[in-house]
Chains A and B, each alone.
Chain A
């Protein structure tokens, strides 16, 4: 046995290049899988610990105004462990050096800030002093976006007058890991942030002494969330409660959870591709090894080695390659996970990031590696074990000759001898050729998969920011205003057009399903803020019911014509049965719309407005901004162009590294496949090639025989791989489909071209390696030794 083990090493030494190429592909599969698993585990651990240490609440409720004594009654609800009441206000900010206004949310912090729910983690500076006027804590991302430091000041409009606030510290909170302005898709840290202010100061500024307008509740383990919510709703109803909700409906938590679920989806698609290619390569290489070694195997068998001993030998070879691939992959996955977690740490802020290795994920990856390797190598090993020993005694029979397609079609006279050699071999070795083509095609597909997200997001951006939203500015009002307010807004400098809207928080219920959403009342045919369907046609807001996005309808299990229960979470808090009159497909937050006048009737109110969409003359933007900064009625401002820029920056930062990683992995696949095919073909034909050289063919001419083969395989892989990539991308959109985001499948020609170019480049590199091997072909040795 010892000598057989020695043979193992020599086998490996003889085929290390090939072995390494397979290991690399397997490693990519293991790496993408373990990277996702470890990233998910790390993020989950990180936020769970954050939530625990900073006492992130379980139930949230916003209301108009309630006396502080209501807190005691909330605390008395069975299952409630702690209650935190605060004052929360959205205001407009004037930041020195910034022309346009920013929006921010002011959140009160209690005197005993260290033990409160949703506690703030202080990064630098100190907490504001409860009795010092105008001291605030700023959220980290917002402060970073503006280069704000402790000691800097910002101006806000509070309670109708401008006030200077001094930043004394910078912090983060589990409630705002992801701080996105209401109504926005992604965070824009320049234009939206959180400021924390002592309760006493907030109450004084907003005339809320002895009262609160927002509460957070921590539940005891095993408490019934539904019961608590029902009781909270009951207690807050008469104080203008907007309906209690759980973490699932809490914006920040929802986004973090969605991100993790998308990671989970991606943990499936890429590894599947890599592992299939790895299985294919194992199959390819082991079949060829066994074929080329049949004489050696037969000799061993003739001397009395048992089939099991032969099988074990190849199994060991396989296991060594699997182990190397797995170890490489697991290490890379661990390393990449650290990088990815750090990347997430830039978007999601935590007090500390923990790298937690997902050992179970590693174990699964090991199992998958074994499965893939054995699946790929099993047939060849079985063949080796079954090889009759008598083979050793006879010289190898010449392959049976039959006319190939090239000959039957009578093409031979029109092709050069080299072309005929290439085509003949490709056809004779049809199975090998086809499997090489499919392996390459998977590489191409992986590239498409790795890049299509940018196309999709560009499409969403175009639809969202250019075609659907034609306003320049969205202003939301602090309280619903009369149409007079619209009149005021219209007279801001530079305003060309105004379109106002009414938004009400509601709970939509259909059978078992229920969702808390914002119902938007719009004009029947809005011109600035348009609702578009999947063909990018404007959707008319039909009278007589609600117009609902497909995603929301799916979540509610509802179809057109169904009656839904609408619970208004504002004002009268009444319940109504409202039919769905139209379902359309969109790619942003699940939305529900109604004609504004109908919504007013439902609310039994006159023309109350929540905000307005404005079109502003670009030349008067500065004056417009200056005036807006002093408009007390405005609670929030969204500037479309700024939002777009921030969106694109975020996407770029997020997607580019991923794209590079995918390109690297796909190139490894392409290289692995081409390199293996080339080596096998080279090994089988080295005699022929050397003979050609001896006969006087030049190196170039001989190389053309080999490289022609690789070129045909690569070119054939492209038309297969591109549609396959499209299909994989489609699977990915399914995997990425979460409650907050739905992605359309958009793949641009540029992406197809990019994938093709990367594959051609990878093939080119492999070809140059092969070329060098042909140049180094030892003519005498090849012709002397009988293979």
Chain B
């Protein structure tokens, strides 16, 4: 652990490295052939950052995010969240890790169709140690008036904002978003990104957003480029753009 990571962040010295990944690989056996989704990824992520992971489809973005979020474990390499070694954790420990620290936002929202917006949020608040009030979380994403609607009564953008409220209601240490605007048009996509930006700003939650849309990278503190299972480059934005100034 002596050698500093090549992508160590030149953030203010006070910043705490929440995630520390070293030499991550992931191999999916597919019958005869193997799919090497990650081929040695080293990465540190810091509290309060807004990070965008960019890369073409199939480059391993989701695989990386799943490992960071404790949904999956690497084939080799190590990943540490604070003092927890996620690569050595069993399913029970990973569940506890997700339960206490992680908020997810999925490309297809994954709301429970039988529950209202508020109930979808409450579902996660129920198992959190120190949650926000579900209504407060909905207020944060600007959906205070739609709390009692069912997912089928909401537009895609509204559904995704409910999903964000659900992800942040537990006050997670990290918010992991896999192509959160992938299924949305530009206008609603920007609304969703604004919700993410304001949460990152107000709650200081480490936010990781996966996208293959390069424009979105402009709102990040840091941009990680992934290609073919490896980090090809890593850059820091001098100036973050607010989402409403993004154009694509």
Contact = CB atoms under 8 A, between A and B. Distances in A.
Of A2, A11, A302, A395, most B-chain CB atoms within 10 Å: A302
Nearest to A302: B104
B104 A2 contact: no
A300 B123 contact: yes
B114 A7 contact: yes
A6 B115 contact: yes
Contacts of B170: 303
A236 B91 CA distance: 86
A302 B69 contact: yes
Interface string B6-23: 000000000000000000
Given A1-B126, A302-B104, A14 B114 contact: yes
A395 B104 CA distance: 15
A10 B115 contact: yes
A4 B106 contact: no
Contacts of A390: 66, 71-72
Contacts of B237: none
Contact of B95 (A3, A298, A301): A301
Interface in B104-128: 104, 106-108, 110, 112-115, 119, 122-127
B104 A303 contact: yes
Contact of B71 (A3, A393, A781): A393
Contact of A304 (B65, B95, B106, B108): B95
Interface residues of A, number: 33
B233 interface: no
A388 B70 CA distance: 11
Contact of A4 (B97, B100, B126): B126
B136 interface: no
B67 to A, nearest CB: 10
A296 B107 CA distance: 14
Contacts, number: 92
A355 B97 CA distance: 59
Interface in A699-717: none
Given A7-B112, A295-B110, A389-B71, A394 B102 contact: no
A393 B62 contact: yes
A681 interface: no
A306 B102 CA distance: 14
Contacts of A301: 95
Nearest to A14: B114
Contacts of B62: 393-394
A3 B123 contact: yes
A606 interface: no
Given A4-B126, A300-B123, A393-B62, A10 B99 contact: no
B42 interface: no
Contact of B100 (A2, A304, A305, A395): A304
A187 B140 CA distance: 84
A11 B98 contact: no
B178 interface: yes
A304 B98 contact: yes
A586 to B, nearest CB: 64
A785 B123 contact: no
Nearest to A303: B124
B126 A786 contact: no
Interface string B55-79: 0000000100110010110000000
Nearest to A293: B112
Of B72, B92, B112, B125, most A-chain CB atoms within 10 Å: B112
Contacts of A786: 108
B198 interface: no
Contacts of A306: 92, 95, 99
Interface in B130-158: 151-152
Contacts of B66: 390, 393
B203 interface: no
A272 interface: no
Contacts of A299: 104, 106, 110, 112
Nearest to B183: A786
B96 interface: yes
Interface string A374-390: 00000000000000111
Nearest to B72: A390
A392 B119 contact: no
Nearest to B97: A304
B106 A392 contact: yes
A392 B110 contact: yes
A139 B65 CA distance: 89
A383 B178 CA distance: 26
A2 B122 contact: yes
A316 B123 CA distance: 17
Contacts of B65: 393
Nearest to A396: B108
Nearest to A10: B114
A148 B135 CA distance: 82
A304 B122 contact: no
B113 A393 contact: no
B81 to A, nearest CB: 14
A307 B108 CA distance: 23
A397 to B, nearest CB: 12
Given A303-B124, A305-B127, A393-B106, A785 B95 contact: no
Contacts of B110: 295-296, 298-299, 392
Contacts of A785: 113, 151-152
B175 to A, nearest CB: 12
Contacts of A300: 112, 123
Interface of B: 62, 65-66, 69, 71-72, 91-92, 95-100, 102-104, 106-108, 110, 112-115, 119, 122-127, 151-152, 166, 170, 178
12 contacts: A3-B123, A7-B115, A296-B112, A299-B104, A299-B110, A300-B123, A304-B96, A390-B66, A390-B71, A392-B104, A395-B108, A781-B152
Given A300-B123, A786-B108, 16 more contacts: A3-B122, A4-B123, A4-B126, A13-B114, A303-B104, A303-B124, A303-B127, A304-B102, A307-B95, A309-B127, A388-B71, A392-B104, A393-B66, A393-B71, A393-B178, A394-B62
Closest 5 CB pairs of A and B: A304-B99, A10-B114, A304-B98, A3-B123, A299-B110
